[in-house]
Structure 1
Amino acid sequence: MGTLSRLDAAARGLHDVLTDPTLGACVSRTGKHGSLVVSAALTPEDVRDAMREAVRRARADNAVLVTALLGHGFTAPQQSDLYYMVADSTTGSTMSAVNVGQLLTEAADEPGVEGVIALIDTCHSAGAMPDAGRIAGGVRAGRTRLSVLTAAAADQAARGMRLTLALTDVLRDGLAGAGSTVRVDTLLTKELRGRITGQTVGQFDYDNDPYAQEQLWLAHNMRSIPCAAGGVVGPVGRHDLEEAVTMWRADTTLPTTLTRAALQNLYDFTCQAEAQNAGDLDWHGRVTHLVATLSECARTVVLLNNVLAEVMTSDLLRSARLLSGLPHEAEGPELLRDLVEYAAVREPRQYEPAWKRTARFVAALAHLSGTNETVGKLREWARDLGVVTDFNDALAEYARKRQQDGLRLVVSLASALTDWPEEVDAWLVGTDERLPVHGRFRCESADRVGTGRAIGAALAWARGRLPAPAQLTNVDVAAPAHLLASWRPEEAKVDRRLLGVNHDVVVRWSGRMDPAENAELNDAARKALVGMADSATVPVEWIGTSVLDDRQILEQELMTGRYDTAVGIDHHPETLPDVLEQLLPYAPIILWPRPDARHGHDWRTLVQRTWRTLPDALPPAYRKRWSPEHNGCAACLGDVRAVWHDEAWLEFCRPFEQRFVTGPEEEM
């Protein structure tokens, strides 16, 4: 038989796709009987030994076996059985080759094997179709499954490894209408027949296993991933790749849709001597690097969609972005694709591993959503890219942060009925106590200074109750409306510094701790928060002077549920204390600009752009506002004030709803 010049590349390409965790998800093996056997010196026994080892592995794992036979094949005169040819095979001796039908029948009949999928790319390959009668008469009495895909009819030649190359492209790009997986079925066969001319692609399917948990599938379907239909490359990656290609070779243009196959073709082209010796060599290297990076990004996106299918949401992705430190501009029209792409293309920094930032993002997803099994699968991804240390470091960092975030001090100024309080109450939340530990601290004077000192005493008391090396970072300050309108708790002087320098301060309304009425208020707030979480848009209802000028109509609208989400006041009203008194029992979140904020800015746009980062982004914004750089800031988040009641705060308020106000004190 003649030399098959495309055999080696076709075999390796198919093996890459089948062992890609995001596509074929087969286990790659090395060694004498590895998952890829390419040799010009094989014997029939070598093929049978490799097959026996694969069957043994599949049986041990109760797994599906996927096998592919690529090369030459023949059928004997007056027979249709296919014989697979190796080094010394001749068409005059069936013993010098391997009977494919028998090989597949024995594999499918082995107890413990969950099914067999066979891809046969040889001449006369339809002769590989096993006899269903032989399968039914086996040791499993036919209770097995077998799918076979063949390159040509029993009387046809197969040329140029067309089946393997076409199949590899289909699996890389996905199959329209196939659902979440690609199977050896009529849909796949029709697609391949449309791509291959001169030979008839065939398909055989046998399914007689009543206990099978799912259908036999060959690969995850890229077309079931939202971003796949329009290509696997987002705006950031395309912009950078187009720039690099233009600088390398001005006469080269990219395809309209960048699929995985298109990226692979471009990468193969950059590796050819013709491409390496033409154009700007530095930009050639940049193109090669970008294509490889974007291909890996596409693979990562599919992996994450599969591993996190049950928990993947937009909020999860945005939370992971914030936790991993990616900027807001990393978000794009296809959230997962564009976040992965931004981390890989724009975030790498000098002298650090190329995939470190992506590893931090993937670790954030694992931390926020994953079981140990999920973390293990994503750690395998990190190991393949050489960033397992960065992945594990990020997981450890996030675990420390979760523990630290769960620990907070709640300071209440609820006793300040008209001016400043004479004492403050404090609860330490996030310890192992059944109820938060409570303390009460006298103000030396009923004013701003005395209140600051009492808060400092509460902080010292809380730190004294924490074991080393735990640190207290989060402080919730609850106060009446008249103080919320005029006082910024993070600017309270505590010892030598302002409270917000070393602590993240979130402002709450003390009225939600009032046992006289807060149960109804907080139940309504919980319902509102659920609706806000499900909202595809920023759920802020903005009000201006025209609304505030008629307080009776506003009250009527509040009572009928008009403003039951987040309310934004687009200016700083002179009657802010009265406005807050009116709004706070209804809206769980209220925002407004500081009185000294720059006029003329569109606060709605600023809040809309940063909404997904709130309230976590407010404390650092306030700290930044104290720096000299704020003088040149056009529109600053530090100018936005907020009273924020989230699920954590409402959960803290729950004992007060049950009138267990003295419960925390009894724990002392």
Structure 2
Amino acid sequence: MPTLSRLEEAARELHTVLTDTSLGACVPRTGEYGSLVVSDSLEPEDVRKAVREAVRLAREDNAVLVLALLGHGFTSPQQTDLRFMVAGSSADSPISAVDVGGLLAEAVDEAGVEGVIALIDTCYSGGAMPDTGRIAGGVRSGQARLSVLTAAAADQQARGMRLTRALVRLLREGLAGAGAKVRVDGLLTGGLRERIVGQVIGRFEYDNDPFAQEDLWLARNVRFAPGATGGVVGPVGWQALEEAVTMWQAEKCLPAPLTRPVLEDLYGFVRQPEAVDAGDRSWHGRVTQLVGTLVECVRTVTLLNNVLAEVMSSDLLRTARQVSGLPHEAEGAELLRDLVEYAAVRAPREDEHPWRAPARFVAALVQTSGSDTAVARLREWARDLGVVTEFNDAVAEFTRKRQQDELRLVVSLAGALTDWPEEVEAWLLGAGGRLPAHERFLCETADRIGTSRAIGAALAWARGLLPATRQLENVDVAAPAHLIASWQPEEAPVDRRLLGVNHDVVVRWSGRMDPLNENAEMNDAARKALRHMVGCVSTPVEWIGASVLNDRQAFERDLMTGRYDTAVGIDHHPDALPDVLEQLLPYAPVILWPRPGSPPDRGWLRPLVHRHWHTLPEGLALAYRKRWSREHDGCVTCLGDVRTVWHDEAWLEFCRPFE
């Protein structure tokens, strides 16, 4: 194997970060098998002895073991088990190298070790995942915890110690949204994937220890705002106030922590006459306004916690954030505080009342919670702030939107086993009644045109069931994999226009409606994945390239073992897309891929999805309309070039009777 010129430098930098008490907080060790082993004459037994010594000390201290393997690695033909190479190792001699999966399985099975975090920066490091059956059947009966971070897929080379170098930079700079600790989770892998191109950064997590006192964390997060810790002001308010105070009086510093009494005392101080002339008068007004806003934010948070105590939850807050139009970055470590603060400090525009955005967020909370008793008390809050009109308008707007979102036409093409269906089925949801209305529509011809006409007939049928005051906007089209891969249902011609012109079309997979399959387990796994994705700060998409799809057997194993536990993005348009979708759809609730004919360069897709993720899937309908218009002229790539099949909680509930 060629010399790795950056290996020793990368290893020493990683060791420095991990043993920094303010970052990795690992205990450094010296001696023959210290915490950093760098040598060009190692034998496999040297690696095993070093790990055994580290495991022994971790066991004695009831500590978490962090193990990093940097260098060359290989997998044997027809196998994916990673072998870590030392001085005398040869790719044609597995016994000359170290079995990484076995090494990790033994380390995590040692009683007393609180957990193992493994960082594997070698070629083919995706093969480092240990056999979970071996862990489950070990001394601890599987009651152990393991997190593995890998530099490349099991069939992919890693170059330039990219994973280690990017990880060192990220830990030194901190990770936005991670809170006080950085963990080997979707947020960390997402941050690394944004920094590393040409390699598939992966992770594996095994957590089966019900007695763990603390979750596995890799390092302290330097981007966590220590100034706000223990106070009532979050990072957004702290940053804005600190900047304003500095511009007002450069020598002034904010007291920390900003508790409620301290904040109220500060508000009293800045309103005194002598404070006006103490510094830059133009910035004094900004400081006064900000402190007053933050005081009111604290009161608002207290009120909401009291009024909505029975229904307040993280899911409720995130849904209200989305409904009210606040961006995803408004979510912070303390959801309610940070959302209210963002709405009051960052969201207001110059041409509107400064409390309009918070009023919309509070209205969204009321409407989403379904608490009728809360409306009157929160309307008093809005009256005191002078935004009762804005509050009432928002409540009415969100109520109409909820009713509109609940009204959906589901069109199923499940009978299209190999080509186009001979009939389509339709259900009208949200129109009232105990059960959704249901009807079948024959296709005049079993082709694209006949299917489009049957969909048009289903639309006419649905309109006939609705009062004149209600308009159908949402259409779910459920189709088998081969049609999902080749057909854009929003472009189906219906009544002289394309279906997607007047309707928001979402593509679903009809396989979840198949009563011949036992879909309950599959749908429950999708529900779990969706709940996990809601809590992700970064874009929860696992990207796969052509190298992954070339080994379909290994890919199937990864799917079965839960490696792809969030949304899945295909970074190219495979020739065998129907087969790929057929393989993926039972596992992933959300799948994305580029539209046929879009630019083959894969570099545009990931940042595009990352930028628009929190508008999906609703944002796709508008993007497709723009793609049909002249606005798309001269556009190289846009959101309209992204295809997706999307299964949300509402769809899974619709599918429950078919399970």
Residue 241 of structure 1 aligns with an amino acid whose one-letter code is L
Question: C-alpha distance in 2, partners of 1:388/1:406?
Answer: 27
Structure 1: give runs of 5+ residues left out of the alignment: 1-225, 658-668
Number of equivalenced pairs: 430
Q: CA deviation at 1:450?
A: 3.7
Q: Provide the residue aligned with 1:70 in structure 2.
A: none
Q: Provide the residue aligned with 2:624 in structure 1.
A: 622
Question: C-alpha distance in 2, partners of 1:303/1:419?
Answer: 58
Q: CA deviation at 1:325?
A: 1.1
TM-score (ref. length: structure 1): 0.58
Q: Provide the residue aligned with 2:420 in structure 1.
A: 420
Question: C-alpha distance in 1, partners of 2:456/2:626?
Answer: 23
Question: C-alpha distance in 2, partners of 1:438/1:248?
Answer: 66
Question: C-alpha distance in 1, partners of 2:410/2:299?
Answer: 45
Pairwise mapping of residues 616-655 of structure 1 onto structure 2 (< 5 A)? 616-626=618-628, 636-655=638-657
**Is residue 621–residue 637 contact of structure 1 (8 Å, CA) maintained in 2?**
yes
Pairwise mapping of residues 100-499 of structure 1 onto structure 2 (< 5 A)? 229-277=229-277, 279-499=279-499
Pairwise mapping of residues 588-627 of structure 1 onto structure 2 (< 5 A)? 588-598=589-599, 599-601=601-603, 603=605, 607=609, 611=613, 613-626=615-628
Structure 2: give runs of 5+ residues left out of the alignment: 1-225
Q: CA deviation at 1:351?
A: 4.5
Deviates more, 1:464-473 or 1:607-616: 607-616
Residue 401 of structure 1 aligns with an amino acid whose one-letter code is K
Question: C-alpha distance in 2, partners of 1:435/1:635?
Answer: 43
Q: CA deviation at 1:470?
A: 0.8
Per-residue CA distance 1:618-651 (angstroms, 9 max, x = gap): 3334334445555687874443322122332233
Percent identity of equivalent pairs: 71
Pairwise mapping of residues 572-587 of structure 1 onto structure 2 (< 5 A)? 572-587=573-588
**Is residue 330–residue 338 contact of structure 2 (8 Å, CA) maintained in 1?**
yes
Residue 340 of structure 1 aligns with an amino acid whose one-letter code is V
1:338/1:601 CA distance change after superposition, 3 Å: farther
Per-residue CA distance 1:565-595 (angstroms, 9 max, x = gap): 5333232211101111222233333222323
- SS in structure 1 opposite 2:519? helix
Question: C-alpha distance in 2, partners of 1:628/1:338?
Answer: 40
Q: CA deviation at 1:421?
A: 3.0
- SS in structure 2 opposite 1:353? coil
**Is residue 228–residue 257 contact of structure 2 (8 Å, CA) maintained in 1?**
no
Question: C-alpha distance in 2, partners of 1:503/1:613?
Answer: 17
Q: CA deviation at 1:541?
A: 4.0
1:641/1:522 CA distance change after superposition, 3 Å: farther
Question: C-alpha distance in 2, partners of 1:612/1:304?
Answer: 25
**Is residue 566–residue 590 contact of structure 1 (8 Å, CA) maintained in 2?**
yes
Question: C-alpha distance in 1, partners of 2:401/2:386?
Answer: 25
- SS in structure 1 opposite 2:326? coil
1:296/1:625 CA distance change after superposition, 3 Å: farther
**Is residue 421–residue 447 contact of structure 2 (8 Å, CA) maintained in 1?**
yes
1:552/1:244 CA distance change after superposition, 3 Å: closer
1:559/1:257 CA distance change after superposition, 3 Å: closer
**Is residue 418–residue 482 contact of structure 1 (8 Å, CA) maintained in 2?**
yes
1:559/1:341 CA distance change after superposition, 3 Å: closer
**Is residue 530–residue 649 contact of structure 2 (8 Å, CA) maintained in 1?**
no
- SS in structure 1 opposite 2:284? helix
**Is residue 591–residue 641 contact of structure 1 (8 Å, CA) maintained in 2?**
yes
Question: C-alpha distance in 2, partners of 1:227/1:501?
Answer: 50
Per-residue CA distance 1:298-354 (angstroms, 9 max, x = gap): 222233234334443333222111100112332334332222112112222344332
Residue 582 of structure 2 aligns with an amino acid whose one-letter code is E
Question: C-alpha distance in 1, partners of 2:337/2:630?
Answer: 37
Question: C-alpha distance in 2, partners of 1:640/1:313?
Answer: 33
- SS in structure 1 opposite 2:645? strand
Residue 621 of structure 2 aligns with an amino acid whose one-letter code is P
Question: C-alpha distance in 1, partners of 2:466/2:493?
Answer: 23
1:498/1:278 CA distance change after superposition, 3 Å: farther
Question: C-alpha distance in 1, partners of 2:540/2:347?
Answer: 30
- SS in structure 1 opposite 2:575? coil
Question: C-alpha distance in 2, partners of 1:628/1:255?
Answer: 55
1:398/1:278 CA distance change after superposition, 3 Å: same
Q: CA deviation at 1:267?
A: 2.5
Q: Provide the residue aligned with 2:502 in structure 1.
A: 502
**Is residue 348–residue 354 contact of structure 1 (8 Å, CA) maintained in 2?**
yes
**Is residue 228–residue 238 contact of structure 2 (8 Å, CA) maintained in 1?**
no
Q: CA deviation at 1:362?
A: 1.0
**Is residue 267–residue 288 contact of structure 2 (8 Å, CA) maintained in 1?**
yes
- SS in structure 2 opposite 1:601? helix
Q: Provide the residue aligned with 1:523 in structure 2.
A: 521
**Is residue 297–residue 340 contact of structure 1 (8 Å, CA) maintained in 2?**
yes
**Is residue 572–residue 592 contact of structure 1 (8 Å, CA) maintained in 2?**
yes
Pairwise mapping of residues 40-59 of structure 1 onto structure 2 (< 5 A)? none
**Is residue 475–residue 503 contact of structure 1 (8 Å, CA) maintained in 2?**
yes
**Is residue 231–residue 257 contact of structure 1 (8 Å, CA) maintained in 2?**
yes
Question: C-alpha distance in 1, partners of 2:437/2:562?
Answer: 36
**Is residue 525–residue 587 contact of structure 1 (8 Å, CA) maintained in 2?**
no
Residue 327 of structure 1 aligns with an amino acid whose one-letter code is P
Q: CA deviation at 1:407?
A: 0.9
1:482/1:366 CA distance change after superposition, 3 Å: same
TM-score (ref. length: structure 2): 0.59
Question: C-alpha distance in 2, partners of 1:401/1:431?
Answer: 14
Question: C-alpha distance in 2, partners of 1:604/1:265?
Answer: 48
- SS in structure 1 opposite 2:441? strand
- SS in structure 1 opposite 2:591? strand
Per-residue CA distance 1:183-212 (angstroms, 9 max, x = gap): xxxxxxxxxxxxxxxxxxxxxxxxxxxxxx
**Is residue 572–residue 602 contact of structure 2 (8 Å, CA) maintained in 1?**
no
**Is residue 564–residue 588 contact of structure 1 (8 Å, CA) maintained in 2?**
no
